[in-house]
Amino acid sequence: MTKPYVRLDKEDAAVLLVDHQTGLLSLVRDIDPDKFKNNVLALADCANYFELPTILTTSFEEGPNGPLVPELKEMFPDSPYIARPGQINAWDNEDFVKAIKATGKKQLIIAGVVTEVCVAFPVLSAIEEGFDVFVVTDASGTFNPMTRDAAWDRMSAAGAQMMSWFGLACELHRDWRNDVEGLGELFSNHIPDYRNLINSYTTFKSQ
């Protein structure tokens, strides 16, 4: 049975950024490293733009996984930051789950490194607890397309929705009339070709 369409709602969504750590980022090979980091920061910009509660978590920072990507820490200075001492599945950390439930949101937008572990495990756990889960595929990374695709299949079969950060932003925004310049600027900052589109629009509008 096909799951009915569950539309993202900015009033009922929270963002979970899982294990975007300097060491783990070196493992990402299923997407170009520069594009991947751009996508992660684009998702972070979306979280701020739509004022979505955002929770950051890391795993075993003092080990080879390394610290959180510094830009994320700077972008969310007041957000819950859960440095897990060792739990591989973030959902096994009581503070992480408490922070999620404290938001009161039922839709969880999740991205992380690596896809089949740090993303898939909490995604499956959240679905089991009744959350609607949206995985930002291009802000999540892993070793190769084979392991990525297997993880996507596993999460999709459990009911998670696979999305890009761009698709996510558009679904949250609903209507261009809500704000052309603001969202257009966000897109332009992360998609070079979109900058050309916005420049064309602003030029035409000023005539």
State whether the Cα torsion 72-9-113-39 is positive or negative. negative
Q: Shortest CA distance to 9 belongs to which of 173, 136, 122?
A: 173
CA–chain centroid gap for 207, Å, is 38
CB 118 within 8 A of CB 124: no
46 in active site: no
* Among 118, 120, 123, 151, the one annotated catalytic: 118
From the number of C-beta atoms within 10 Å of its C-beta (0-12, 13-18, 19+), residue 192 rates as: exposed
The DSSP secondary-structure symbol of 88 reads: S
Provide the 3-class DSSP secondary structure of residue 6. Answer: coil
Q: Which residues are catalytic?
A: 118
